[in-house]
Chains A and B, each alone.
Chain A
Amino acid sequence: MSKEITLPTGISEAPPQISESRRFIRVFLNRGVVVFGIVIIILFLVTAAFAPLIAPYDPYEQHFDQSLHMPSKAHLLGTDTLGRDTLSRMIYGTRYSLMVGVIALGIAAVVGMILGLFAGYFGGWVQATIMRLMDSLMAFPMILLALVVAGMLGAGLKNVMVALGIALVPGYARMMCGQALSVKENDYILAERSLGAGNVRIMFRHIFPNCLPPLIVMITMMMGTTMLAEAGLSFLGIGIEIPNAAWGGMISEGYKYVLTNPILSLAPGLALMVVVFSFNMVGDGLRDALDPRLRGTI
């Protein structure tokens, strides 16, 4: 069987070929704010990777004689109540934000996508069971769901990641289910089945990759949301435990000294906001670039 498909005459005058990857990059980098987001995210990743080299001080070293110092040359963002350098703590904080974001999202994406894929592919009672369960989880605000799980498991890094991971599952499952429902109706799936492919092969080799683009956008967007939720949990005292340098916990600790040293709270909050904003903007850019309706046009 030949793989070549010859077009009947008349249709051969196809629009000029535009390289898919070049188009993607052009649309993706079209807006300044997306480029800004990419730069910030790269900075964020570099900071997290090389925190010990960048941070001027040890984030856990206590100097009681330097408690609550205002910003100065020695301590650019001042010191907290135990005399620890705020800037160094923020730099180390990138590690927690990143770790929580990546692992919680990873748990949610894997579990959610598999559930959604099964629900969408098999339909019927499988779909009904899985999706009703997801609906009932979605009846809660995400942070409340995470709060219930984290509250039961207890505070701590590992539990926060598990709690947020569980709380994010329904979103992925619903998205994947919708995608799988529409992708499985395509003729190439029918063709694959007529060639004798099994369910697992069709699901993971053919349906799954075709469902990915909107999910990639969702993962990028959710990175910011997850980091915000982690900060929220830490703020409520059910997140990463106190001595660890995490942004949410730092905001919460600084809250007590907001009258005298507002920077203790304001600086980590601002950093969090900038990073979340960047992930959202990059997600926006990805969505535009992956939008199939725009394919071949710009």
Chain B
Amino acid sequence: MAAYIIRRLFLAIIVLLITTVVVFLAMHLLPGDPILLKMTSSEMRQTSPEQIAFLRHQFGLDKSLFVQYYDWISGVVHGDLGVSILYQDKVTNELKMSVPITAHLGTLAEVGGFIIGLPLGVICAVRRGKWLDTIITILANLGITVPIFWLGILLMYLFALELRWLPVFGYTSPFDNFWLSTRQLIMPVFCLAVFPVAAIMRQTRSSMLEVMRQDYIRTAWSKGLRERTVVTKHALKNGLIPVLTFIGLGITNIIGGAVLIETVFNIPGVGRLMVFSILNQDYPITQGITLIIATVVVLVNLLVDISYGWLDPRIRYT
């Protein structure tokens, strides 16, 4: 087991390194110049080529790609992600402001996904083919289909503009004003949670159906156990293992969703920062964010894989 974990950690680091190279190359080889994008047209007329060259030099953009990558990665190892071209601020500072916001939204959505999706999946599997199963399954299929930014606009129109129950958009830290923060979070978190709820429900349903067919479940029934005991004690434990995979998938999905939802609800999180930095070709910020996202995703998937063996003793790592 220890050897397996070490090998997987080693692989994870390789994957992360490749990720940084790919993103770095993508940002630097494709056309576009962040220095020119940063300037307004009037500024551009007043700036001499020498000054532009100086700016390029200041951000290290005149060095060779290899040197630029080396500079960046050696900074990363020391916890320095560089300086944003657009904000003239340390990338780490920008991330310190935006990461907690997205983490807050995302955690609520993911936890909500499990709290709601799991029981629904179990109910559907146990009541297979009944009307409740049919309704929930159709809703879940719609849930994995709905364009979430559109859902956000729909909710905003209904609950904020028409009914005026909730604030239209924005984000407030729960430590500053808990009540306002919660009210502002309801719609974005709901939108982000729709996919996890639906996907976890579908996964739980199908893996529970698979488990309910097993011999040991028939044995449990034939012992005369009550339905609740069979479902919770015998089926659920085994049925939940495949659902675990979804933790990793869910995180990727929520980050992807955050890009859209933070734009709709004007929330200053990582997603919106990412869109903004890409539109302005702010390399350091984009590289910093992709590094953080890739690290989180790779680590979560690693933890999921390791916990598999811990939960299912039949899986042995060699």
Contacts and interface: CB of A to CB of B under 8 A. Distances in A.
Interface string B225-246: 0000000000000000000000
A86 interface: no
Interface of A: 33, 132-133, 135-137, 139-144, 147-149, 151-154, 224, 228, 231-232, 235-238, 248, 251, 254-255, 258-259, 262, 265-266, 269, 272-273, 276-277, 280-281
Interface string B285-313: 01000100110011000000000000000
Nearest to A141: B256
A169 B308 CA distance: 27
Contacts of A280: 141, 144-145
A144 B156 contact: no
Contacts of B111: none
A273 B294 contact: no
Interface in B24-43: 26-27, 30-32
Given A132-B15, A152-B26, A277 B297 contact: no
B146 interface: yes
B149 A235 contact: yes
Contacts of B76: none
Interface stretch (B65-73, B93-101, B112-120, B275-283): B275-283
| Across the A-B interface, the 10 shortest Cβ-Cβ residue pairs | A141-B256, A269-B150, A152-B30, A151-B278, A136-B18, A139-B294, A136-B19, A277-B145, A143-B256, A136-B15
B52 interface: no
B279 A238 contact: yes
Contacts of B23: 148
A89 B298 CA distance: 42
Contact of B255 (A132, A144, A232): A144
Contacts of A135: 15, 18
A11 to B, nearest CB: 27
A262 B157 CA distance: 7
A258 B256 contact: no
B260 interface: yes
Interface of B: 11, 14-16, 18-19, 22-23, 26-27, 30-32, 138, 141-142, 144-147, 149-151, 153-154, 156-157, 161, 252-253, 255-257, 259-260, 263-264, 274-275, 278-279, 281, 286, 290, 293-294, 297-298
Contacts of B259: 141, 143-144, 147, 232, 236
B281 A152 contact: yes
Nearest to B202: A284
Contacts of B15: 132, 135-136, 139
A278 B31 CA distance: 38
Contacts of B16: 136, 139
7 contacts: A231-B149, A237-B279, A251-B150, A258-B153, A265-B153, A273-B145, A280-B145
A41 B278 CA distance: 35
A222 to B, nearest CB: 13
Contacts, number: 139
B154 A266 contact: yes
A210 B277 CA distance: 44
Q: Of A132, A141, A259, A281, which is in contact with the most chain B CB atoms at under 10 Å from its CB?
A: A141
Contact of B147 (A133, A238, A272): A272
Nearest to A276: B145
B18 A232 contact: no
A136 B32 CA distance: 24
Nearest to A166: B26
A258 B156 contact: yes
Contacts of A254: 153
A147 B150 contact: no
Given A259-B157, A265-B153, A236 B275 contact: yes
B234 to A, nearest CB: 24
A161 to B, nearest CB: 16
Contacts of B290: 140, 144, 148
Q: Of B11, B16, B19, B264, which is in contact with the most chain A CB atoms at under 10 Å from its CB?
A: B19
A248 B150 CA distance: 9
A66 B242 CA distance: 55
Contacts of A281: 141
A232 B260 contact: yes
Contacts of B298: 139
B316 to A, nearest CB: 20
Contact of B27 (A152, A251, A258): A152
A269 B14 contact: no
A258 to B, nearest CB: 5
B294 to A, nearest CB: 4
A212 B256 CA distance: 29
A198 B255 CA distance: 45
Given A248-B147, A265-B150, 11 more contacts: A132-B11, A141-B256, A143-B260, A154-B32, A228-B145, A231-B150, A235-B263, A251-B150, A251-B153, A266-B150, A280-B141
Q: Of B274, B278, B293, which is in contact with the most chain A CB atoms at under 10 Å from its CB?
A: B278
A231 B294 CA distance: 24
B255 A141 contact: yes
Q: Of A142, A224, A262, which is in contact with the most chain B CB atoms at under 10 Å from its CB?
A: A262
Contacts of B22: 133, 136-137
